[in-house]
Amino acid sequence: MNMDMFVSTMVMESGTLTLYKRACILDHVTEKYALLLNYSDTANMKRILFLLLISTTAVAASDDETAFTRAKQFNVWYLEQINADKYPITDGHKIDNYVTVSTLKKLRHAQDPKYSDSEFYDADFFTKSQYIADDWATSVKVITSDSDPVCLNVYVAYGVKYEHVVIDCMVKENGLWKIQSVAGIPDAVGNK
């Protein structure tokens, strides 16, 4: 579906032929086209290109914010589950909304009694800790991010003093940001 529309009209004014153009964009709420810009010469093309550049930058920033939001939502939910003595990897499928299919397949395989002895983890996969403090679920904060060719790394801190930090490697799967892997920061304030 084409979301942008350009309209052109030619008008003879005072013996001069002028080409008027309008750029419109689809408003998803009203499902009608809204006038974005009127222009009549090539000088305004620079302004249009600048506006398009700003809008694509805003979309990219918005996309990162979505990854931050999903990382925080997951970590709060996951810690609440652990504090309630539930194990989200094997209890239900809500975790499927936050973690990639391939990662969950590996984690669930590791939980199988036939294989669990050979694939032992010394810490929780998502928190990178053997201990989970009671205040972690109520004190989750996204502190920064960086990206690499593999994923958007979202740094998430836990605790009132944000003393424990993990890095959620976020990738898009079926249009949703999901966790592909998690790393800990060993020498962050209080990390063990």
pLDDT surpassing 60 at residue 3: no
Are 169 and 151 contacting, i.e. CB atoms less than 8 angstroms apart?
A: yes
Are 171 and 187 contacting, i.e. CB atoms less than 8 angstroms apart?
A: no
Closest among 180, 187, 125, 192 to 153, alpha carbons compared: 180
- Residue 118's pLDDT band (boundaries 50, 70, 90)? low
The mean of the pLDDT values for the chain is 76
pLDDT surpassing 80 at residue 134: yes
- Tens-digit pLDDT profile for residues 27-46: 555 556 665 555 555 445 55
pLDDT surpassing 50 at residue 56: no
The predicted pLDDT at position 161 comes to 87
Are 128 and 179 contacting, i.e. CB atoms less than 8 angstroms apart?
A: no
**Bigger pLDDT: 15 or 66?**
66
Structure-block tokens of residue 62: 């918005």
User: To which residue do tokens 């002895």 refer?
Assistant: 117
In the chain, the percentage of residues whose pLDDT exceeds 90 is: 43
